[in-house]
Chains A and B, each alone.
Chain A
């Protein structure tokens, strides 16, 4: 069963006539927590527990459900070990990495390109926003670790640069 906004309003009307400041309601399918704040107004937190039934896969569906997100702490390590003496260009935020300003255009940099701190080396698309990635270091690109249009975690190593 699902709880509608009207249901919640009806419950609040009942509670308003009663001396209680908090209600916790839990069923197999949802949790509802209503709480009166200092000024007598209400807040609600809802949790739907049973996910909706999944209907058989459509055309190109991938069967794997989204796994639990990994702890953010070790993402940098998983991006590959830093090599001795090389500088890293890391993803400032997670998202899709683009090596060129638009499809079909020349990449911002290639292996062998010289970069300075504010050289744009790529774009990370997060939540439909394009964020340019500055090198942040000075030197020559020796390796590109994340391919074009590949997903990059925050702090993932995108490129390795040999210092000047």
Chain B
């Protein structure tokens, strides 16, 4: 918990957490010499980095130019290609005629993506040539409204793959990696479960992913922490995007590498190099130890289309013990406001191997109790009992299918109850 707090504005984030002047004002008021931007709001905003530089305050993160390169998905894609990373076939949409030709080369269906988007925002699947013109026009309009950038690009649509990302750290010269995380359990591109290392990944694919991420970092002369996201399909993988911040799921990496990534960030910001690259192959291997899994506990009702559930937390009991970490701002009496996203807590378990971690996770979930708001805890209890999840290696199509099956079961149960009463 904080030693001091500064009120930076009203609840509406546009007038507070997203207001560069308000954030800088708070730093000046307190005499802070650095700003850690966290993982939301302005964390990847080049304007905040520039404003910090102008004010003589250290921005704990990449340079303004690196943030801009990562935020522009087309520029990031070009850097990835230049660094030798595989990308899905695609390219920028300049006019309809060339877009038609490009889509034909890529093969249908194609995805249209906004250059200013990312994280699943500003993305649409186009099924056939007849839809192309309208879909591009709509995508341009939406991208212009949402990101003030009408540029869009096409990419091959892959119906499923595993979402695997590599943690990198750089000091502006040298770039190292802290292994990978598997984040394939997602709903609408929102991650719900993350683990490290990625289960069942071949040694050569793993090494190639790590090398690719480091190559991109080196090309950018990256400074700070970053995550290079990939879509992995069999032995093939494709660059998705670079996230130029610390991520929500960083604790699973911290657990298996025994590292404090926020401390690394601060060290880099102070001009010190990150610690030596973890060696996962040599005889003195200092690579990942054991297996870690994180669940994002959100205030949402998974039985009603994941409807958000703001309100007052009346009780909050979490598991405790060896191998269990809970990051949370929630305690009895906490008011969960409707203005921000629904993340209440992160439950992270760490054990000698995946089987032990899963057993620890099931027990830890059973001991979580949050009252007053609806949470997705019951979803995790069911999810972690599924044999496919226990086996590992599920792709991004598995979780939506699990939800669909669960929904139809629920409808049948309700119909059964109705018939029973009638």
**Chain A residues close to B by CB (< 8 Å):** 2, 5, 8-9, 12, 34-35, 37, 39, 41-48, 51-63, 66, 69, 93-96, 102-104, 125-129, 131
Contacts and interface: CB of A to CB of B under 8 A. Distances in A.
Contacts of B331: 45-48
B317 A53 contact: no
Contacts of B8: 58-61
B310 A58 contact: no
Contact of A127 (B26, B29, B308): B308
B320 interface: yes
B317 A44 contact: yes
A43 B310 contact: no
B310 A34 contact: no
Given A8-B320, A44-B318, A93-B310, 20 more contacts: A41-B321, A42-B367, A43-B367, A43-B369, A44-B319, A45-B331, A52-B5, A53-B4, A54-B4, A58-B7, A60-B9, A60-B22, A62-B9, A94-B338, A96-B338, A96-B339, A126-B338, A127-B342, A128-B340, A131-B307
A58 B29 contact: yes
B27 to A, nearest CB: 9
Contacts of A9: 320-322
Contacts of B316: 45
A-B pairs with the 4 shortest C-beta distances?
A59-B25, A127-B308, A58-B25, A44-B320
Contacts of A96: 12, 338-339
Contacts of A12: 320-321
A39 B310 CA distance: 32
Q: Which of A5, A43, A103 has the most CB of B within 10 A?
A: A43
Contacts, number: 132
Interface of B: 1-10, 12, 15, 19, 21-22, 25-26, 28-30, 145, 299-300, 307-308, 310, 312, 315-322, 325, 331-333, 335, 338-342, 363, 367, 369
B335 A52 contact: no
A45 B30 contact: no
A39 B317 CA distance: 16
A48 B316 CA distance: 12
Contact of A2 (B1, B30, B320, B369): B1
A53 B5 contact: yes
B320 A93 contact: no
Contacts of B335: 66, 69
Nearest to B341: A128
A52 B104 CA distance: 60
A69 B1 CA distance: 23
A37 B367 contact: yes
A93 B319 CA distance: 31
A76 B5 CA distance: 34
Contacts of A128: 340-342
Nearest to B19: A60
B5 A47 contact: no
A63 B341 CA distance: 24
Given A58-B22, A102-B145, A41 B319 contact: yes
Contacts of B332: 45, 47
Contacts of A45: 315-318, 331-332
Contacts of A56: 6, 29
A131 B339 CA distance: 14
B317 A61 contact: no
B338 A42 contact: no
Nearest to A53: B4
Contacts of B4: 52-55
B363 A39 contact: yes
A47 B29 CA distance: 29
B46 to A, nearest CB: 21
A104 B9 CA distance: 25
B7 A57 contact: yes
Contacts of A94: 310, 338
A104 B7 CA distance: 30
A60 B332 CA distance: 30
Nearest to B16: A60
Nearest to B322: A9
Nearest to A45: B317
Given A41-B321, A44-B317, A55 B5 contact: yes
Given A44-B318, A55-B4, A59-B25, A126 B10 contact: no
Contacts of B26: 55, 58-59
Contacts of B5: 51-55
A103 B1 contact: no
Contacts of B322: 9
B312 A55 contact: no
A43 B320 CA distance: 5
Given A60-B15, A126-B338, A127-B310, A54 B7 contact: yes
B58 to A, nearest CB: 19
Nearest to B142: A102
A43 B6 contact: no
